[in-house]
């Protein structure tokens, strides 16, 4: 977004990383836990005041977990839903008043192919990501007439801090590559470019949509299928064969 000329505010739980990214793009940063609705609103208000308004927000904070449903600790289940789902709502809640005042805007939320086609072991994550799709559609309906477009991206397997441990585990990178018709794991820029497109006037007639950005992975099912068993196997010794779902 900065490369396209936007002035950017970076919000993250990790204030140091947010500040480093903001420095890189000449923006401002805030250390915020997206689970806290008032903290998100205060940061968004502050950012809008300092940057001269708010045209677009990208609600991207997310976190995962890996366990069978009956093995999840209730607090951990709630944490995953809280960050992924409530975090997106808190961003919408904070941004909409500015967009209404400014005559319109664009909201992009990060869902996941796991919310469209869940895999074993991802219960609260998949449920939260599926709910983000419904929330995106609700928001598109509520604010379309006020010229606020609301869309979601659903990434597939993307190289990031979240997936680094998995990509380093046995043959998992090769398994993901094999499951992706475009033949590689995604890079963050693959998602960022689509978010910039959806945020821009090029997407002026698109709202309420979920754009899957996964190199075609979902055509084979879900990329994370079998990971729970694979992680268990790898902890006991190298796996001989790729896991099945």
Q: What are phi and psi of 110, to 5 degrees?
A: -95, 115
Is 143 one of the annotated active-site residues of the chain?
Answer: no
Pick the stretch among 8-16, 42-50, 68-76, 200-208 that binds ligand NAD (CB under 6 A). 8-16
155 binds ligand NAD (CB under 6 A): yes
Q: What are the C-alpha distances in Å from 163 to residues 95, 159, 222?
A: 29, 6, 15
DSSP 84: I
In 71-141, the DSSP E strands lie at: 105-110
Q: What is the DSSP string of 176-201?
A: HHHT-TTSS-B-HHHHHHHHHHHHSG
- Going residue by residue from 115 to 154, which x/- string records binding to ligand NAD, judged by CB under 6 A? ----------------------------------------
β-bridge mates for residue 235, sequence order: none
What gap in Å lies between CA 29 and CA 11, rounded to an integer?
6
What gap in Å lies between CA 193 and CA 183, rounded to an integer?
19
Q: For residues 29 and 60, which CB has a smaller minimum distance to ligand NAD in the complex?
A: 60
Q: How far is the CB of 126 from ligand NAD (least distance, A)?
A: 11
Whether residue 202 contacts residue 40, with contact meaning beta carbons closer than 8 Å, is answered with no
Count of positions on this chain that bind ligand NAD (CB under 6 A): 22
DSSP 114: G
- Residue selected from 161, 201, 238, 240 as contacting ligand NAD according to rule CB under 6 A: 161
158 binds ligand NAD (CB under 6 A): yes
Residue 21: Cβ within 10 Å count? 16
Q: How far is the CB of 147 from ligand NAD (least distance, A)?
A: 26
Q: For residues 16 and 103, which CB has a smaller minimum distance to ligand NAD in the complex?
A: 16
Residue 27: Cβ within 10 Å count? 20
Pick the stretch among 13-21, 50-58, 95-103, 194-202 that binds ligand NAD (CB under 6 A). 13-21
Q: For residues 62 and 124, which CB has a smaller minimum distance to ligand NAD in the complex?
A: 62
Tell me which residues in 38-77 interact with ligand NAD (CB under 6 A).
60-63
- Residue selected from 1, 6, 21, 33 as contacting ligand NAD according to rule CB under 6 A: 33
Q: How far is the CB of 94 from ligand NAD (least distance, A)?
A: 13
What gap in Å lies between CA 171 and CA 200, rounded to an integer?
38
β-strand 148-155 against 210-213: which pairing, if any?
Answer: parallel
Catalytic pick among 125, 143, 205, 230: 125
Residues recognised as catalytic: 125
Give me the residues that bind ligand NAD (CB under 6 A), please: 12-14, 17, 32-35, 60-63, 83, 110, 112, 155, 157-158, 160-163
């Amino acid at each position: 977004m900065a490369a396209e000329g936007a002035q950017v505010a970076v919000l993250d739980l990790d204030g140091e990383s947010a500040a480093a990214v903001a420095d890189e793009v000449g923006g401002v940063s805030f250390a915020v836990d997206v689970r806290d609705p008032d903290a998100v609103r205060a940061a968004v208000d502050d950012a809008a005041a300092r940057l001269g308004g708010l045209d677009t927000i990208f609600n991207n904070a997310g976190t995962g977990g890996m366990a069978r449903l009956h093995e999840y600790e209730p607090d951990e289940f709630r944490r995953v839903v809280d960050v992924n789902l409530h975090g997106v709502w808190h961003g919408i809640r904070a941004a909409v008043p500015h967009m209404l005042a400014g005559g319109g805007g664009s909201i992009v939320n990060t869902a996941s192919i796991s919310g469209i086609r869940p895999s074993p072991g991802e219960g609260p994550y998949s449920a939260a990501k599926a709910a983000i799709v419904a929330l995106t559609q609700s928001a598109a309906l509520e604010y379309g007439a006020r010229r606020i477009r609301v869309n979601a991206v659903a990434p597939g397997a993307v190289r990031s801090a979240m997936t680094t441990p998995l990509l380093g585990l046995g043959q998992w990178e090769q398994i993901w590559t094999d499951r992706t018709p475009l033949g590689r794991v995604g890079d963050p820029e693959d998602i960022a470019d689509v978010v910039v497109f959806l945020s821009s006037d090029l997407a002026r007639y698109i709202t309420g949509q979920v754009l899957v950005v996964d190199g075609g992975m979902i055509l084979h099912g879900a990329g994370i299928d079998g990971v729970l068993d694979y992680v268990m196997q790898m902890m006991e010794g190298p796996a001989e064969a790729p896991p099945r779902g």
